[in-house]
Amino acid sequence: MGKLLPSFGNAHYAGAGCLNPLSNDPDYETIGIGTRIFLGGGIGYVMGEGSQHNPRDRFGTLFLKGDLKQMSSEFLLGACYEKYGTSMFVGVGVPIPILNEGLARKTSIRDEELLTDVVDYGVPRRERPKLKEISYKELKSGHIDLDGKKVKSSSLSSLFYARKIAEILKKWIESGEFLLNPPAETLPINTLFKPMKQTSKLKFVKDIKREAVICFDDCDLKMVAKKIINQSMNHIVITNREKILMGIVTSFDVTKAIAEDKKDLNKIITKKVITTSNNEPIDVAARKMKSNEISALPVVDENNKVIGIITSEEMM
């Protein structure tokens, strides 16, 4: 959700961080079936856990009930995310009575103690690679650090409204219009959220790639020809001294160069190279080969550094 720019251009996070009621009562001692709450400007109730409740990963959800007639348009607003669909902003406030020392300690949680994973949404599959673990403090600072790159981060939910709701709920409780109640049954803390599983194991480029045979861009044609013979590889990847991809030469290119009496390596390199990356599924890589009528793809990292090669032989 939220618009993302290419090549780690920006990052989004959801949740109010240390103001999130489920983070303040992580063992659900006071939240459960029947808990009276603030919902959209009126009074609502917790019915139970939500559909993707995943407490073992500290990702709880709530199933709520409310009265639309009590709600106000300030805390119940329609939303639409481009290329995602319609959604709704709902203001929720959960009162947490400090019943014991443990709860006093848990509700004192701060943003730096709340950790979450950075996930690459550029990878189109269910189990997306996790890039690193990060605290809400870093997320809220506006910038996160990803392999030395400063990436702008911003939220998808309003902290301003979260504070406003907390203030309103506090006022309600102080004036006696809102009564706290114990839940009839607390939320489960040990259930596991099981998404639909992929029945066949997906294979990735990193599983079948092999070491690329590399020549630096300043070596000559004879050297390339030697490497083709010695390593019995049809594809020689040309890089600079930092292993950054510069081009590719096939045995056919070398044969053609000899036939046409060309001696300069630079003139026979294919400079526009179609590449693949570690986390690409092999069927995507195979499609790339087929549609471009080529038989090998160099594997590169984010900085275009060559880390391997896959050829149509391995695909078989």
Q: Which residues bind other proteins (CB under 8 A)?
A: 2-3, 5, 9-12, 77-82, 87, 89, 142, 152-161, 163
Query: Is the four-CA dihedral 302, 238, 217, 232 of positive or negative sign?
Result: positive
CA dist list (Å): 21 to 15, 63, 114, 201, 279 = 10, 14, 13, 38, 36
Question: How far apart are CB 43 and other proteins at their closest, in Å?
Answer: 22
Specify burial of residue 31 (Cβ count, 10 A radius: 0-12, 13-18, 19+): buried
Looking at beta carbons only, is 154 or 231 nearer to other proteins?
Answer: 154
Distance CA(3)–CA(150), nearest Å, equals 18
Question: How far apart are CB 14 and other proteins at their closest, in Å?
Answer: 10
- Asked if residue 192 lies in contact with residue 49, where contact means CB atoms within 8 angstroms, the answer is no
Longest dimension (CA), the chain: 94
Question: How far apart are CB 157 and other proteins at their closest, in Å?
Answer: 6
Question: How far apart are CB 6 and other proteins at their closest, in Å?
Answer: 9
Looking at beta carbons only, is 163 or 203 nearer to other proteins?
Answer: 163
- Rounded to the nearest 5°, which phi and psi values hold at 79? -145, 155
Nearest to 66 by CA among 35, 92, 47, 39: 39
Specify burial of residue 237 (Cβ count, 10 A radius: 0-12, 13-18, 19+): buried
Question: How far apart are CB 163 and other proteins at their closest, in Å?
Answer: 7
Looking at beta carbons only, is 31 or 39 nearer to other proteins?
Answer: 39
**Identity of the amino acid at 129:** P
Looking at beta carbons only, is 39 or 233 nearer to other proteins?
Answer: 39
Question: How far apart are CB 134 and other proteins at their closest, in Å?
Answer: 14
Looking at beta carbons only, is 30 or 153 nearer to other proteins?
Answer: 153
Looking at beta carbons only, is 51 or 86 nearer to other proteins?
Answer: 86
Question: How far apart are CB 101 and other proteins at their closest, in Å?
Answer: 31
Angle between helices 221-231 and 251-259 (to 10 degrees): 140
Q: List, in sequence order, every residue forming a beta bridge with 54; answer none if it has no partner.
A: 59
Looking at beta carbons only, is 27 or 167 nearer to other proteins?
Answer: 167
**Identity of the amino acid at 80:** C
- Asked if residue 58 lies in contact with residue 211, where contact means CB atoms within 8 angstroms, the answer is no
